[in-house]
Structure 1
């Protein structure tokens, strides 16, 4: 997108970062590659970055997947650190009682005025049905990675 167009602002849920690490050729990694190619502007808060690190470095993943080594985790985090925009942790202005653990992402979406959330989480996919969020973010698209890639392809046409 070198034509000066404004890049879509995207937040990647932790499940997407983890799925990308598990399957380096899957749709989640293809979503991460959109960030690397400069097709999207990914934002992450300091808290979300810490969550990425905690989930990627979880010992169970290194036991289950031989390629998930400390070095591989560091490479994935470097990818995010080098291509995503880090922003301060936003205040909680919209609580999310359906899953309070998702409140930091809900409020990051609002603070960043995000265009997209890419997620596999059913609670996050239901977010547009939550009036306090929907009133603040009526145009956000919350998509699974395959649907997100389809949308990016449509925008390229």
Structure 2
């Protein structure tokens, strides 16, 4: 259990792969359960209907992801990202780890399968669908 702490506010980039299902809303609601312990956050993501999402130009998609991620302290991706989102996930992983040095936290949704190899190789931490584990990873990996 996370101890009560002084208020902490952070900005999180949530992977575009969270767009596909209600998991985005569920993840945000899960994180909000830690508000009583001082954890506050803003979320950034690139919506599915963003013009770069349908572009044939991979560079424009990468730049759009990078632009949203730039001001965030940590990146949350689903550990079981469906293959339909591999185009997004790959760009998010590259931007977070290779270019921006952002902590990459993979979250295992309930009833999810084994994390993909690319997630295993690049995530700074893989956590379960548990608010305290997610927040603890955010605090440990992104605190100044």
Q: TM-score if structure 2 supplies the norm length?
A: 0.46
Higher helix content, 1 or 2: 1
